[in-house]
Amino acid sequence: MQNEAMSDIANRVAAIRERISAAAQRAGRDPSEITLVVVTKTQPIARIEQAIAAGIVHLGENRVQEALPKIAALQHARPTWHLIGHLQRNKARNAALFFDTIHALDSLRLAELLNRARAESTPAERRPLPVLLQINISGEAQKEGFALTGGREDQQHWPALLVDIAQIAALPYLRIEGLMTIAPFTSDPQTTRPVFRSLRHLRDRLARHFPGIAWQHLSMGMTNDFEIAIEEGATLVRIGRAIFGERTS
């Protein structure tokens, strides 16, 4: 049974890699520009180890409390840990100390807390923490992130966003590397493609405003929609169910 399960996860990883390559080629992109972040929330250590055995290096969790024991248990494998979910301020310290990159930075206040935690850490960990700014492009009320929908209301949000970004960029122990978004939960490309395209356009616009920031990453695309996201420029895709199956909890 163990072996069967193992090959199952390895097979799914291989299948996803193929689909990533095919989507990249359709868009005239080099598949090596795209990093597969395997989302391990709700998965036990043994199954995560199977993904690692299949060559996966980048792991994503959306809750700090759930992630900490996994990070400790898998230390020997030296994976790169991505925090992909909304971060509460009282978890900022552990997030800054135990994660390698934060995808869902959604306020200046949170950035300041992450920066301070990193500043107070051991010299070895005092390197700048890579962060992505989460943007609520689809404008759904229940979604986290800086508000910027590409619509008319942006006239008021845009100047505020520029001020926040300037201040985050000035924090010495954080490094802005790009943007992240979550599309509406659907596999309909007519809904998701404009969301991903807007995030790319926003990135291009911010790159003109802040040429000193690299802006190299677009974290977008999940099981339902990662191929569309890659066609629209994703560099980090966050995939859980397509590798581990439907979550039961």
Ligand X SMILES: *Cc1c(COP(=O)(O)O)cnc(C)c1O
Q: Tell whether the torsion through CA atoms of 46, 34, 79 and 122 is positive or negative.
A: negative
| CB 225 to ligand X: min, Å | 9
Compute the distance between CA of residue 165 and CA of residue 186 in angstroms, rounded to an integer.
Answer: 30
| CB 193 to ligand X: min, Å | 17
| CB 166 to ligand X: min, Å | 26
| CB 211 to ligand X: min, Å | 29
Judged by CB, which is closer to ligand X: 66, or 112?
Answer: 66
* In 51-159, beta strands by DSSP E: 58-61, 80-83, 101-105, 129-136, 146-147
> In whole angstroms, how far apart are CA 46 and each of 5, 40, 56, 131, 247?
10, 11, 14, 29, 15
Tokens of 5: 């399960």
| CB 223 to ligand X: min, Å | 3
| Cβ atoms < 10 Å from Cβ of 63 | 16
Judged by CB, which is closer to ligand X: 198, or 224?
Answer: 224
- 66 Cα distance to chain centroid: 17
Please classify residue 4 by burial: count the beta carbons closer than 10 Å to its beta carbon, then call 0-12 exposed, 13-18 middle and 19+ buried.
exposed
Residues that bind ligand X (CB under 6 A): 39, 41, 62, 84-85, 182, 222-223, 238-242
Tokens of 75: 């230390």
| CB 84 to ligand X: min, Å | 4
Q: Which residue is nearest to ligand X (CB)?
A: 240
Compute the distance between CA of residue 178 and CA of residue 175 in angstroms, rounded to an integer.
Answer: 9
